[in-house]
């Protein structure tokens, strides 16, 4: 019985984390961009609780329409992550850190 209750609680927590990441609004996160290519950036970002992601350095796809030429490197920025049609999060906007 305890195991069932524990599994139910875990399921509720995971479900609430997934629902917290609203698909219609971007998720804002502080980061530093290390490099930029035509369709992706390499970033070190803070923890993203909405996605359950720890702080890490990773490559992220950039959404169509983002001006990659205007993205500064080695400077603190705020990323807005949006969910692409494929369900993968990508960078929808880059702005000066708040």
| Per-residue model confidence as pLDDT tens digits over 35-69 | 999 999 999 999 999 999 999 999 999 999 999 99
Edge-to-edge strand ranges of the sheet holding 76-83: 56-61, 40-45, 27-36, 76-83, 89-96
Query: What is the per-residue pLDDT for 64?
Result: 93
pLDDT at 10 over 90: no
Mean pLDDT throughout 11-25?
49
pLDDT bin (cut points 50, 70, 90) of residue 26 is very high
| pTM summary value | 0.73
Q: Distance (Å, rounded) from C-alpha 15 to C-alpha 63?
A: 26
Q: Could you give the CA distance from residue 20 to residue 52 in angstroms, rounded to a whole number?
A: 10
Residue 18 has pLDDT above 70, yes or no: no
Residue 25 banded pLDDT, cuts 50, 70, 90:
confident
Which residue ranges form the domains of the chain, and what is each CATH number? 2-96 (2.40.50.320)
**What string of DSSP letters covers the chain?**
-HHHHHHHHHHHHHHHHHHHS-TTSPEEEEEEEEEE-SSEEEEEE--BTTTTBPSEEEEEEB-TT--GGG--SSSEEEEEEEE-TTS-EEEEEEEE--
Give the pLDDT confidence score for residue 15 in this predicted structure: 42
For residues 64 and 44, give the distance between their C-alpha atoms in angstroms, rounded to a whole number: 21
Return the pLDDT at 21.
47
């Amino acid at each position: 019985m305890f195991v069932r209750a524990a599994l139910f609680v875990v399921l509720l927590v995971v479900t609430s984390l997934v629902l917290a990441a609203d698909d219609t609004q971007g998720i804002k996160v502080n980061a530093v961009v290390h490099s930029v290519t035509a369709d992706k950036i390499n970033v070190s970002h803070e923890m993203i609780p909405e996605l359950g992601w720890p702080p890490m350095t990773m490559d992220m796809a950039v959404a169509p329409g983002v001006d990659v030429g205007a993205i500064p490197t080695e400077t603190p920025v705020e990323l807005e992550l949006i969910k692409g049609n494929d369900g993968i999060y990508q960078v929808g906007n880059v702005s000066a850190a708040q």
